[in-house]
Amino acid sequence: MILTTIPTITAKSTPSALERIILDVMSLDPMQFATGINVIDGENVFVNRISSTTKLLDDALSEIHGRYIDVHIVLAGQEMYAAPLATVDVDNMLNFDADNDAALQSDIANEQVFTLCEHQCVTFFPGEWHRPMLCVETPSAIEKIVIKVKADWL
């Protein structure tokens, strides 16, 4: 997991390959993207544009992926996350849905909680549980994107 901001990435003289993808997507004005999936580079890079309402912790599920890196970027509003600091081998998970590259679960041990504001982002790598879309105090509107990057392509 990596926490950063778009201005921090923009200020780098030599951004990483993943950071270049983030900057390229942000240059496309993702607030104007259609809600749902927006293809950038086939199955290698796509963006899920989300316009929704945050949830209470008990009403949200944690998710994990095996093939894709998730870069969550808040465009407007605030969003809280819960995530443990441990990585899991998804190949040995009984409830992992390989077709959708995801498993969902409600009870993840040792979750740490943090909040993102506008233009802040968090990157989750394959095997890292994360519970997004949580409200800070009460459920509220959130505008965000999740950039999905195929890990073995990067």
Give residue 107's pLDDT. 85
Give residue 140's pLDDT. 98
pLDDT of residue 47 exceeding 90? yes
The single-letter code of the amino acid at 154 is L
- 44 burial via Cβ count (<10 Å: 0-12, 13-18, 19+): middle
Q: Which residues pair with 79 in a beta bridge?
A: 116
Give residue 143's pLDDT. 98
Give residue 120's pLDDT. 98
- Look at the alpha carbons of 116, 107, 95, 90 in this order and tell me if their dihedral is positive or negative: positive
Give residue 90's pLDDT. 77
Q: Distance between CA atoms of 110 and 92, rounded to whole angstroms? A: 20
The answer to whether 115 and 13 have CB atoms below 8 angstroms apart is no
Q: What is the tens place of the pLDDT at every residue in 6-30?
A: 999 999 999 999 999 999 999 999 9
Q: What is the pTM of this model?
A: 0.95
pLDDT of residue 122 exceeding 90? yes
Q: What is the DSSP string of 92-105?
A: G-TT-BGGGTBEEE
Give residue 92's pLDDT. 67
**Residue (of 61, 43, 45) closest to 99 by Cα position:** 43
Mean pLDDT of the chain: 94
